[in-house]
Amino acid sequence: MASTPAGSWPVTEAPGETTAEATTEATGGTTGEATHGTTEPTAAPTAAPVAAPMAECLGGAVHLACAESPADELAVIVAGFSGYEAQTRARALTRLAALRGLRRLHGDRHRTVQAGTELRLSDFVADPPAGLGLHVPGTGLLSGRRYRLPAEVVWAGGHECLVEPATSGVVDSGVPEAIAEVVAHDVVARWWAEPREPLLRVSAALGRLLPAGVTAAASGLGLRMSAFVLSVPDLRVALVTVGGEGATMAAAAGRTVRQAVCEAFLRAMAAKAQPWSTLELPDCLRRFAVWQREADYAAYLERLAVDADPRLVDEVSGLRPSGWPEIAARRFGHEPVAVRADGDGPVVKVLCPGALCYRAASGATVLPCPVP
């Protein structure tokens, strides 16, 4: 699920932290991180009839925005911290516009796809099934190279296929944030399949990682919160659970623990409010597993976790030489690829060939991986 950044910064920043690489426009749309000297446009709200009413939760410490398109049977819930209602609403509308654009892409068999380097299903999943034979154009975010992408990993729509059309990488705040989402899901999925890296427990530090008053408000309402971090080169990935009255779990990546935890918490809060009827079947099954087996997930994570070093919890971003496109390229061995709904229109999704989020992966436990 989508969520607003922790403050007016993108997923790479949290309240009170800034770096030279991260700036976000007040609309919550594009970020200042550019490719080839230009900023990639992101999906902007369209003139279609949509709404983004706001609702408070946790005593006003968190708010929710809902953007809907009844004609498309789409509803997007976005969570944000108090004081950033405009950014939250803009992010919800942007994500809704991106999802509507992806739906238009999948059904057009007569679309003329530009010439370019063809990426196959085998570039995204191991032992791929037979493809649909449909392609979608894409553009490399580092090289500017044109690509032909298999439609299954972009958006399968009503077509029968064995590849999950993951919502990871759908643009809502900016292109870098979409890449960060894919990276986060890849890190968690690989750890879930083979938990070799240490899982760092940061639950006791939530009071200072989240904005003031959030943890107290959640506790007062009987919500149980836990947070864990995986520390990998260039970034941190947080896995946050919000339990009580239907547990949800979400993952997010950031350049620091604080950034990752704030974003993952907001995603978990948004997931609690998202109607199950609006979810794709794989997402619905994952949500149901966490909801039904909250105690089992908690016990599994606690058993594998160790307390995080306080220095890691309190780290600051500083100056980082790499942006998210470069981080993804190093991690996956291929540059991320941007998909646009219409020719030179806004980017609606980012794909990362090699990421483990385009088909359900086997795990080291009987508990299903909670993210794509």
Tens-digit pLDDT profile for the chain (372 aa)?
Answer: 444 444 333 333 444 443 333 333 333 333 333 333 334 455 544 445 466 678 999 989 999 999 998 888 888 999 999 999 999 999 999 999 999 888 887 555 555 666 789 999 889 988 887 777 788 899 999 999 999 998 888 875 555 566 766 688 999 989 999 999 999 999 999 999 999 999 999 999 999 999 999 999 999 999 999 999 999 988 999 999 998 878 999 999 999 999 999 999 999 999 998 888 878 777 888 889 999 999 999 999 999 999 999 999 988 876 565 799 999 999 999 999 999 987 778 999 999 999 988 876 566 778 989 887
pLDDT of residue 164: 67
pLDDT of residue 165: 60
> Phi and psi dihedrals of 161, rounded to 5?
-160, 160
pLDDT of residue 224: 92
* 344 burial type by CB count under 10 A (0-12 exposed, 13-18 middle, 19+ buried): exposed
Task: Please tell me the pTM assigned to this model.
Answer: 0.84
Cβ atoms of 125 and 358 closer than 8 Å: yes
Q: Is 21 helix (H, G, I), strand (E, B) or coil?
A: coil
| Residue 239 Rama label (left phi>0; alpha psi -120 to 50; beta) | beta
Cβ atoms of 346 and 44 closer than 8 Å: yes
pLDDT of residue 39: 41
- Ordered by start, the domain boundaries in the chain are 54-351
Which helix (H) or strand (E) segment holds residue 349: the answer is strand 347-351
The CA distance from 227 to 202, in Å, is: 5
- Positive or negative CA dihedral for 329, 314, 216, 27? negative
pLDDT of residue 284: 86
Coarse DSSP helix, strand, coil percentages of the chain, rounded to the nearest 5 percent: 35, 20, 45
Instruction: Tell me the sheet residues that pair with 68.
Output: 51, 75
pLDDT of residue 98: 93
188: nearest Cα among 344, 9, 367: 367
pLDDT of residue 44: 47
Cβ atoms of 236 and 256 closer than 8 Å: yes
Cβ atoms of 223 and 215 closer than 8 Å: no
| Residue 246 Rama label (left phi>0; alpha psi -120 to 50; beta) | left
- Encoded amino acid at 5, one letter: P
CA torsion angle for 177, 181, 186, 191 (degrees, to 10)?
A: 110
pLDDT of residue 149: 92
DSSP state string for 240-268 = EEEESSS-EEEEEEESSHHHHHHHHHHHH
Length of the chain: 372
pLDDT of residue 372: 74
